[in-house]
């Protein structure tokens, strides 16, 4: 287990015109009535604690009376755009119960809690700065993972849905020890697949607090899935192992679980299954994926030294000369997916445009 060090502060990359055109084509770019910077005008705050009185690293913010009405009205409209295509008939029945701000990490998000007063159901969404690498990460997760994601981009603001689940670090500490043998085996299998998926699509920094465990009851058992919740480190770092969750010390218990629960033959089988499924997902959205990778290959979302280090590491692993010729992170990811596709179906990604 390594103590991997990642960049202390990843810069925010602007949304290029080409990426904006892509987002417009796939209905991700929608005009909204509030911007991230508007929410920064809060007048005061208090610390948010969890049920055990631990600091959550979130603060609950407050606004003066005039701005509060304007901001809450705009947030309700964002909710209707996000969930009901802008139908404002439900606005009188919505309440903004909380606006929380997190100063930890790169994105410094606002978390908005919206409650329907008719049935007391609550929904969360996040308001962040529109960083290009995060947008690429969200789109790649939408296309290449088992899960669909809902998000919107407008100018410098990103609206992102809440991904429900138990934070990985909390699950590992408080729930994993009490899981049955069969449940631990199933969680180990999911971690192998999650690890493989992150590596292939170059999603970095999947430490235990950057993913959630999602339990689902299925007849007489509970099925566990693992979902990424932080897409800030998409195709940015130069160290290959940062794209492999197994190498973070925060995931040590999960790695031990895999070692104790699954034989190497089964691990290889699960990796093969995940790669095969990923190729099928890639084929099913091949035109959209090709357009996104075209945007990414013409963008710069990582320093040159990161690109040089990563492409040579992957070249040493694959002996595919395309990696040596890669000029940026977009080309590395494009050639990685082509390499994967050729190995499973001998199809070049460029030919998938149809």
Q: What does the pLDDT look like over 78-88, one tens digit per residue? A: 999 998 888 88
3-state secondary structure of 314: helix
Query: Is the C-alpha dihedral spanning 137, 114, 48, 212 positive or negative?
Result: negative
- Same structural domain for residues 180 and 150? no
Q: What is the DSSP string of 194-263?
A: HHHHHHHTTB----GGGEEEEEEEETTEEEEEEEE---TTBT--S-GGGG-GGGBGGGHHHHHHHHHH--
163 — phi, psi (to 5°)?
-100, 110
- Same structural domain for residues 135 and 242? no
Q: How confident is the model at residue 347 (pLDDT cuts 50, 70, 90)?
A: very low
- Same structural domain for residues 138 and 182? no
- Same structural domain for residues 115 and 98? yes
User: Residue 166 is inside which H or E element, if any?
Assistant: strand 166-167
Looking only at Cα atoms, what is the longest distance across the chain?
Answer: 64
Evaluate whether residue 45 is within a structural domain.
yes
Of 128, 146, 161, which closes a domain? 161
Cα–Cα distance between 110 and 102 in angstroms, integer? 7
Helix axes 17-25, 132-144, angle to 10 degrees: 40
Beta strand 110-116 with 55-62 is: unpaired
**pLDDT at residue 351 greater than cutoff 70:** no
- Same structural domain for residues 182 and 330? yes
Distances (CA, A) of 276 to 196, 271, 334: 11, 9, 17
User: pTM for this structure?
Assistant: 0.92
Strand ranges (E), 50-120 = 55-62, 94-102, 110-116
pLDDT in tens, 183-203: 999 999 999 999 999 999 999
The C-alpha angle 252, 241, 305, rounded to 5 degrees, equals 145
- Same structural domain for residues 121 and 143? yes
Of 161, 187, 211, which closes a domain? 161
What's residue 350's pLDDT? Answer: 46
- Same structural domain for residues 153 and 207? no
- Same structural domain for residues 127 and 218? no
- Same structural domain for residues 324 and 177? yes
pLDDT in tens, 312-332: 999 999 999 999 999 999 999
What's residue 349's pLDDT? Answer: 44
Q: Count the domains in the chain.
A: 2
- Same structural domain for residues 126 and 206? no
- Same structural domain for residues 172 and 301? yes
Evaluate whether residue 255 is within a structural domain.
yes
- Same structural domain for residues 155 and 177? no
């Amino acid at each position: 287990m390594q103590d991997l060090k990642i960049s202390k502060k990843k810069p925010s990359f602007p949304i290029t015109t080409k990426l904006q055109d892509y987002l417009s084509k796939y209905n991700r770019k929608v005009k909204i009535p509030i911007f991230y910077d508007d929410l920064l005008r809060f007048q005061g705050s208090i610390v948010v604690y969890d049920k055990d009185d631990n600091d959550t690293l979130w603060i609950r913010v407050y606004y003066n009376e005039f701005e509060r009405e304007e901001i809450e009205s705009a947030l309700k409209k964002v909710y209707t755009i996000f969930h009901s295509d802008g139908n404002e008939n439900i606005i009188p029945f919505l309440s903004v119960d909380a606006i929380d701000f997190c100063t930890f990490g790169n994105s410094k998000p606002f978390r908005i809690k919206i409650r329907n007063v008719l049935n007391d159901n609550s929904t969360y969404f996040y308001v962040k700065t529109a960083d290009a690498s995060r947008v690429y990460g969200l789109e790649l997760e939408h296309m290449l993972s088992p899960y669909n994601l809902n998000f919107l981009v407008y100018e410098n603001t990103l609206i992102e849905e809440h991904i429900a689940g138990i934070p990985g670090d909390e699950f590992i500490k408080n729930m994993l020890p009490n899981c049955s043998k069969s449940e631990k085996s199933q969680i180990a299998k999911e971690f192998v697949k999650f690890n493989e998926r992150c590596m292939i699509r170059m999603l970095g920094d999947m430490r235990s607090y950057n993913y959630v465990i999602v339990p689902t009851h299925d007849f007489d058992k509970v099925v566990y899935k693992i979902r990424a919740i932080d897409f800030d480190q998409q195709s940015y770092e130069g160290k290959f192992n940062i794209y492999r969750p197994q190498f973070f010390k925060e995931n040590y218990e999960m790695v031990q679980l895999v070692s104790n629960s699954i034989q190497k033959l089964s691990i290889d089988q699960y990796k093969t299954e995940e790669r095969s499924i990923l190729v099928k997902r890639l084929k099913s959205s091949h035109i959209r994926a090709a357009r996104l990778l075209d945007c990414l290959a013409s963008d710069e979302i990582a320093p040159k030294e990161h690109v040089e280090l990563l492409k040579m590491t992957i070249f040493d692993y694959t002996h595919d000369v395309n990696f040596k010729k890669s000029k940026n992170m977009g080309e590395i990811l494009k050639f990685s997916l082509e390499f994967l596709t050729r190995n499973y179906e001998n199809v070049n990604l460029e030919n998938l445009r149809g």
